[in-house]
Amino acid sequence: MNNGLEVKSIVFGELRKISAEEFRDSTGLDWMWDGLMDGTDVRLVLANSSEEMKKTFIYTVSRADIPTATQWSWGSEIEVKPDEEKEISYAVTMPGIPSSDYRDYTGPLRYAVEVTVSDPTQGKALERKLKYYDIPAKVEVNELEGSEFDIHKTLNELEKTTVLHDFCIEGNPKEGVKSIKAKLFNFGGKIQYIGIDTRAERKGAGYQTQFFYDVGPKEEVPVDIGSFITKCPPGMEYLRIRAVSVPEYVFNSKKARGWFLGESYEEEENYKSLIAKFDFYFSESE
């Protein structure tokens, strides 16, 4: 119990297959993929026995339990009315790891899903619960792996013909972003394949997603890259947006293009085809 706010239960479901549409509808997060992904369900019951509206912050982490894998995490702020018992249900994804990471690993892939419920006014956890899931190991032979190509050679071969312009953030990041929009313009004579990643940080929690576009010659494409960030709670402290050229054969592999976009962080000094990078820092006084 904390000032009338209580986490009555956190219940994890069984391992099952989840579609991108189901994940989006249950969480509001616009992470898209083809087919079905391993995942589970989480159900929380919160109770407010006080006479005041209470807010709580629910932070979810989904990660493979091996050092090489990247974790997926997101958070949401929930209001609980006076004398209300509120149930929150949502889907959690377990996107797996590149098959190259299985080289020294046998048996099923163990996934950890952790849910933390905090009081945002006091910055301390009310409840934390963790569950492990075992997923059968598999290798998707039709997907290009990042280890199958030389990123340095690939970066040197890319041509920069697309720019990100008319960039606009609507709303105050400290109070809540309403939209993040821009335009991609290709002034070259060939199709350009573009990856955009966005990352926001708030009180130690990170929110990140990726968008991919193909832009034809002399074509201008409007992009709305705020569908994920705008669902983050207010109080954003840092925002980065990067637009990167991606080779066509990498772009056509959903697994490889995500890896490529992440790997390009390590190559920014030598990455001549880095189109744009915007960094925004928001102080407490703003």
What is the CATH number for 154?
2.60.40.2420
Is residue 221 a part of any domain in this protein? Answer: yes
- My answer on whether 61 and 129 are in the same domain is yes
pLDDT at 75: 86
Burial environment of residue 1 by CB neighbours within 10 A (0 to 12, 13 to 18, 19 or more): exposed
What is the pLDDT, as a whole number, of residue 1?
44
Kindly list the distances between the CA atom of residue 6 and the CA atoms of 10, 29, 77, 119, in Å, as whole numbers in the listed order. Answer: 11, 26, 15, 10
93 and 193 belong to one structural domain: no
pLDDT of residue 102: 53
> 135, 161, 192 — which closes off a domain?
135
- Of the two residues 31 and 147, the one the predictor is more confident about is 31
Q: Which domain holds residue 209?
A: 146-281
Provide the domain count of the chain.
2
pLDDT grade, residue 167 (50/70/90)?
confident
User: Based on the domain organization, do 65 and 108 belong to the same domain?
Assistant: yes
- pLDDT category, 93, cuts 50, 70, 90? very high
What pLDDT, on the 0 to 100 scale, is given for residue 69?
55
Distances, alpha carbon 280 to alpha carbons 177, 196, 200, 236, 283, in Å: 13, 16, 9, 10, 10
* End position of a domain, from candidates 116, 135, 154: 135
Is 197 within the bounds of a domain? yes
pLDDT at 134: 87
Whether the pLDDT of residue 273 is over 80: the answer is no
Same domain, 37 and 163: no
Q: Do residues 20 and 124 both lie within one domain? A: yes
Assigned domain for 286 exists: no
> Of the given ranges (40-54, 76-90, 98-112), which has the lowest mean pLDDT?
98-112
Domain shared by 40 and 163, yes or no: no
Instruction: Give the residue with greater pLDDT, 28 vs 58.
Output: 58
Mean pLDDT of 85-100: 83
Check whether residue 12 and residue 88 sit in a common domain: yes
State whether 244 and 122 are in the same domain: no
Listed in sequence order, the residues at least 6 apart from 201 whose beta carbon sits closer than 8 Å to its beta carbon are 207, 236, 237, 238, 239
Q: Do residues 71 and 186 share a domain? A: no
Tens-place pLDDT, residues 208-256: 778 889 999 999 999 887 766 665 666 777 778 888 888 888 888 777 7
Task: Give me the chain's average pLDDT, please.
Answer: 79
pLDDT at residue number 231: 58
54: exposed, middle or buried (Cβ count in 10 Å: 0-12, 13-18, 19+)? buried
**Does any domain span residue 141?**
no
Same domain, 129 and 153: no
Backbone angles phi, psi at 159, to 5 degrees: -105, 135
Distance CA 231, CA 74 (A): 10
C-alpha dihedral (152, 157, 163, 168), degrees to nearest 10: -20
Q: Write out pLDDT tens, residues 39-55.
A: 999 999 999 988 889 88
Provide the pLDDT for residue 140.
45
Asked if residue 165 belongs to a domain, the reply is: yes
- The pTM (predicted TM-score) of the whole model is 0.52
Of 197, 190, 185, whose CA–CA distance to 265 is shortest? 197
Residues 195 and 123 in one domain: no
Chosen domain end from 135, 166, 187: 135
Q: Please, which pLDDT band fits residue 285 given cuts at 50, 70 and 90?
A: very low
The answer to the question of residue 237 being in a domain is: yes
Same domain, 121 and 167: no
